[in-house]
Structure 1
Amino acid sequence: MAYFCVLTGDIVASTRLSASELSAALDAIEGAAEALSPLLRESHFARNRGDGWQFAIPSPRLQARLALLIRAELRTLGEAFATRIAIAEGDGTLPPDGDLNGASGPVFTASGQLLDSLEGPRIAHAAGGALGAALRLFDHISEEWTPAQARAIAPMLRIKPPTQTAAASEIGITRQSLAQALASAAYPAIVEALAMIEETP
């Protein structure tokens, strides 16, 4: 067994999406971890049950950032795109081929059971506590993001975010528009909170 942080989720109201829209949503979720490379280079991702997905990551301290990145990348596709995210930490076993659909152990069970019971908040942590409280607030704040706000905040959630000038150029808006979008998306408070979470031993 090894220690993992597992994020399990499913697309909300997936039956309202076309096959191509559902595929784009799952692609966006899978791509969120790429923004956290190289620290998540050893992450594992799987799709399951049609609209379901799962991450197993080796760096638990990045779990809140990854959850927010998933929310941001999805919301950039439009307001109709959303996912639930159930997070747990603990021991688990991967099969030799690394396929999460064949994984087992307490952490995978805890994450899956949390997802099955998740009502109301769409981001939650099985352990609760301070991290669970922070994720509850992140969920509330990010649920209000518009696609434009999500598009602005996504590059700024990377491990080494670009300057605001570079980020504005990357997404094709003015630096002033980016700054306004970040402020209205509560980015300054979010990035400070993430730093506190990730600095905690």
Structure 2
Amino acid sequence: MKDLIVFTGDIVGSSRLTASELSAALDAIEGAAAVLRPALGETAFARNRGDGWQIAITEPRLQARLALLIRAKLRALGEAFSTRIAMAEGDGTLPADGNLNGASGAVFTASGQLLDSLEGPRIVHASGGPLGAALRLFDHLSESWTPAQARAVMPMLRPDPPTQTAAASEIGITRQSLAQALASAAYPAIVEALRLIENTR
């Protein structure tokens, strides 16, 4: 048993997506974990129930950042792409083969039950408290991101983000356009809140 943070989710409106679109959405979620993997400790990803997915990490500090990066990567695919994210922290056991479909422990139960009961907000944490409050606000702010805003935010959510000039070059827009997109996405406030969260873990 070890202390884990488990994300359990499903793709919203998956029945309206083609098989290739659903696959792209799940690839985007796995890709978000891959971007942060060096800082997430032991990390595992699994797909389940057709449109469902799960991530387990051992480093709690960046859990809010990962939730936002998942939102950004999906929204960058288009406004039709979204997922519910139910997060929990606690004891769990990862299978030796890394397949989360065979994982066990209270944290997996808590995350799954939270997803099953989820209504309204699409990013929630079982612990509530200050982290839950911050995630509620992050959910509200990021729910209205346009694909262009999400693409601007994505590189800036890395643990060591590039300069705005480098990020703009990476996604093929001007630095001014990037700065405008970040401002309209509330990125300056979001990243400051993330720093405050991460510095207390």
TM-score (norm: length of structure 2): 0.99
Distance in 2 (alpha carbons) for counterparts of 1:199 and 1:141: 22
The equivalent of 1:83 in structure 2 is 83
> Which whole-Å CA distance do the structure 1 matches of 2:182 and 2:190 have between them?
10
Deviates further, 34-43 or 190-199? 34-43
**Distance of 2:121 and 2:18 partners within structure 1:** 25
Task: Tell me the residue number matched to 2:5.
Answer: 5
For 2:96 and 2:73, the matched residues in 1 are separated by 30
Please report how far the alpha carbon of residue 42 of structure 1 lies from its aligned counterpart in structure 2 after TM superposition. Answer: 2.1
> Match for residue 54 of structure 2?
54
Residue equivalent to 1:45: 45
Aligned AA (2:98) = G
Q: Would you say the 8 A contact 2:40–2:60 is kept in 1? A: no
What amino acid is aligned across from residue 117 of structure 2 in structure 1? S
Partners of 1:34 and 1:158 in 2: CA distance: 11
Long gaps (5+) in structure 2: none
Find the counterpart in structure 2 of residue 25 from structure 1: 25
Kindly indicate whether the alpha-carbon contact (under 8 Å) linking 2:42 and 2:59 is maintained by their aligned counterparts in 1. Answer: no
In structure 1, C-alpha distance between the alignment counterparts of 2:37 and 2:2, rounded to whole Å: 21
- Paired amino acid for 1:31: G
**What amino acid does structure 1 have at the position aligned with 2:93?**
T
- Conserved 8 A contact 1:34-1:40: no
CA contact 1:35–1:159 (8 Å) conserved in 2: no
In 2, distance between residues paired with 1:143 and 1:32?
A: 17
The offset of 1:36, in angstroms, is 1.2
> Is structure 2 residue 159 aligned with structure 1 residue 159?
yes
Residue type at the aligned position of 1:195: R
Aligned twin of 2:138: 138
Share of identical aligned residues, percent? Answer: 81
Q: Which runs of 5+ in 1 are unaligned?
A: none
Q: CA deviation at 1:34?
A: 1.9
User: What secondary structure, in the 3-state scheme, does the structure 1 residue paired with 2:46 have?
Assistant: strand
**Matched letter for residue 50 of structure 2:** G
RMSD between aligned residues: 0.7
The residue number in structure 1 matching 2:148 is 148
1:41 deviation in Å? 5.3
- Separation in 1, partners of 2:70, 2:41: 16
Kindly provide the CA deviation profile for residues 161-201 of structure 1, in whole angstroms up to 9, marking residues without a partner as x: 00000000000000000000000000000000000000113
1:133-159, Cα deviation, whole Å (9 max, x unpaired): 000000000001000000000000000
DSSP-derived class of the 1:200 partner: coil
- What's the offset of the Cα at 1:96? 1.6
Segments ≥4 residues shifted beyond 3 Å: none
Code of the aligned partner of 2:15: T
In 1, the alpha carbon distance for the partners of 2:129 and 2:116 equals 20
Aligned partners of 1:139 and 1:41: how far apart in 2? 24
Looking at structure 2, the residues matched to 36 and 101 of structure 1 have their Cα atoms a distance apart, in angstroms, of 22
Q: Structure 2 CA distance, aligned partners of 1:183 and 1:37?
A: 27
Aligned residue for 2:109? 109
Paired residue for 2:174?
Answer: 174
